[in-house]
């Protein structure tokens, strides 16, 4: 059984003006997501600025989210690291906190070999008893999980059950699904490829768009699964210009700007991320106005 089916939000980490994590605001965002029909919460992923959270902050965000969500929908904790020991530590603590599953990014900067990736993911996953979803995002980490590697991992490690595919390479996605022979749960890691990935047998999306449009992102998946492929595609295409603006600068710069434009007051980013360029923010606002998200 999949960890979740549909739209999981890669939720932002709201910050106070002084740069501290704003847990009260995080609680509001979680309630906004659940009310909007989001199918899962992914906490401390790329969009959550996990790479600039201390270990203590990282785990506190996971604990808070598990407590606030209180079993209403699955909570997937991002616990990947470029250090296997750290990934194991965060994963064990996330399991203790009550997370339903883990999201494990490929080790960044180290640029591990495929042999290294197998060892890293195997050691991390076997340290816990909850399911793990691999996160393949070579544009940010400098290495990719090849289809053969994904197939080996899902075959050899019982609790490696899924993959978030943010390669943008649909040919590689198809090869992964071919080699895994139905043993892997596929999630789109790109909001502009939800329908193509669902058509390849995907279970859903781990989404940035869901931060600002939870209902619509859920509906893209729900319509597809209900057999309304044309309706799903129409909604995907309607929101494509907004998705493009949400990635006009490195994520999560634009999505935090979008949430602030909506009055959600999620605060600033942590350096080295900086506020969105005004020219880009103006284009973002135009697309949001077209969709009735702001006035």
CA neighbor of 105 nearest in space, from 193, 177, 14, 167: 167
From residue 135, alpha-carbon distances to 104, 145, 234 in Å are 5, 9, 27
Taking the C-alpha atoms of residue 108 and residue 156, their distance in angstroms, rounded to an integer, is: 23
Cβ–Cβ < 8 Å for 29, 205 = no
Distance (Å, rounded) from C-alpha 43 to C-alpha 47?
9
Pairwise CA distance, residues 42 & 65, whole Å: 9
Pairing of strands 6-10, 75-78: unpaired
Beta bridge partners of 73: none
Catalytically annotated residues: 135, 164
CA 182 to CA 177: how far, in whole Å?
7
Q: Is 19 left (phi over 0), alpha (psi -120 to 50) or beta?
A: left
Q: Compute and round to an integer the Cα radius of gyration of the chain.
A: 18
């Amino acid at each position: 059984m999949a960890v979740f089916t549909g739209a999981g939000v890669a939720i932002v980490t709201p910050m106070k003006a002084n740069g501290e994590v704003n847990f009260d605001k995080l609680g509001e965002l979680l309630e906004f997501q659940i009310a909007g029909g989001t199918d899962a919460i992914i906490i401390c992923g790329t969009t959550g600025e996990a790479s600039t959270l201390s270990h203590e902050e990282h785990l506190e965000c996971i604990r808070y989210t598990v407590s606030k969500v209180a079993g209403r929908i699955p909570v997937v904790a991002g616990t990947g690291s470029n250090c296997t020991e750290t990934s194991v530590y965060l994963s064990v603590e996330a399991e203790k906190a009550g997370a339903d599953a883990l999201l494990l990014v490929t080790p960044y900067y180290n640029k591990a070999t495929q042999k290294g990736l197998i060892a890293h993911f195997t050691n991390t996953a076997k340290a816990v008893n909850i399911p793990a979803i691999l996160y393949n995002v070579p544009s940010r980490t400098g290495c990719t999980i090849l289809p053969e590697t994904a197939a080996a991992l899902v075959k050899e490690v019982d609790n490696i059950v899924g993959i978030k595919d943010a390669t943008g390479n649909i040919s590689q996605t198809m090869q992964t699904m071919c080699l895994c022979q139905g043993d892997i749960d596929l999630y789109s890691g790109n909001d502009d490829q939800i329908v193509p990935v669902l058509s390849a047998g995907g279970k859903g999306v781990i989404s940035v768009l869901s931060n600002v449009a939870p209902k619509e992102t859920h509906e893209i998946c729900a319509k597809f699964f209900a057999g309304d492929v044309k309706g799903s595609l129409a909604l995907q295409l309607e929101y494509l210009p907004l998705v493009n603006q949400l990635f006009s600068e490195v994520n999560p710069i634009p999505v935090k700007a979008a949430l602030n434009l909506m009055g959600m007051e999620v605060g600033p980013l942590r350096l080295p991320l900086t506020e969105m360029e005004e020219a880009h923010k103006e284009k973002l606002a135009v697309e949001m106005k077209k969709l009735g998200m702001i006035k």
